[in-house]
Structure 1
Amino acid sequence: MLNPIKLPLIKKLYKAYYPSGRAKKDELIITASREGVIVALLRLKTVEQYRLLTGMLVIPEVRGTSVGRTLLEHCENKVFEDGDYCFAFSYLEKYYAQHGFETIDSHELPNSLKMAFQRYVVSGKDLIPMQFIPSKVSKRAL
Structure 2
Amino acid sequence: MSPIQIEVLDPVKLPLVARLYKSYYRSGKAKKDELTIAGSVDKQMIAVVRFKSVEENRLLTGMLVVPEFRSQGLAHRLMSYCEQYVLQSGDFCFAYSELESFYQQHGFVTLGSDSLPNTLKGLFERYSQKKSLVAMKYG
Superposition TM-score, scaled by structure 1 size: 0.89
Residue 86, structure 1, aligned to residue 93, structure 2: yes
Question: Could you say which residue in structure 2 is the equivalent of 1:32?
Answer: 39
For residues 24 and 91 of structure 1, the distance between their equivalents in structure 2, rounded to whole angstroms, comes to 26
Runs of 4+ in 1 over 2 A off after TM superposition: none
Residue 132, structure 1, aligned to residue 138, structure 2: yes
Q: 1:56 aligns with which of 63, 68, 90?
A: 63
Q: CA RMSD in A?
A: 0.9
Question: Could you say which residue in structure 1 is the equivalent of 2:113?
Answer: 106
Q: 1:13 aligns with which of 20, 25, 32?
A: 20
- Identity among equivalent pairs (%): 51
Which structure has greater helix proportion? 1
SS at match of 1:64: coil
Question: Could you say which residue in structure 1 is the equivalent of 2:3?
Answer: none
For residues 5 and 78 of structure 1, the distance between their equivalents in structure 2, rounded to whole angstroms, comes to 21
- What do residues 103-137 of structure 1 show as CA deviations (whole Å, max 9, x unaligned)? 0111110111011011112x33111100001xxxx
Deviation at 1:41, TM superposition (A): 0.6
Question: Could you say which residue in structure 2 is the equivalent of 1:44?
Answer: 51
- Contiguous gaps of at least 5 residues in structure 2: 1-7
For residues 115 and 19 of structure 1, the distance between their equivalents in structure 2, rounded to whole angstroms, comes to 22
- What do residues 3-55 of structure 1 show as CA deviations (whole Å, max 9, x unaligned)? 12210000000001111211111111001111111110101100111100111
Residue 22, structure 1, aligned to residue 29, structure 2: yes
For residues 66 and 74 of structure 2, the distance between their equivalents in structure 1, rounded to whole angstroms, comes to 10
Superposition TM-score, scaled by structure 2 size: 0.91
Q: 1:2 aligns with which of 9, 33, 56?
A: 9
Aligned AA (2:59): L
Equivalent pairs counted in the alignment come to: 132
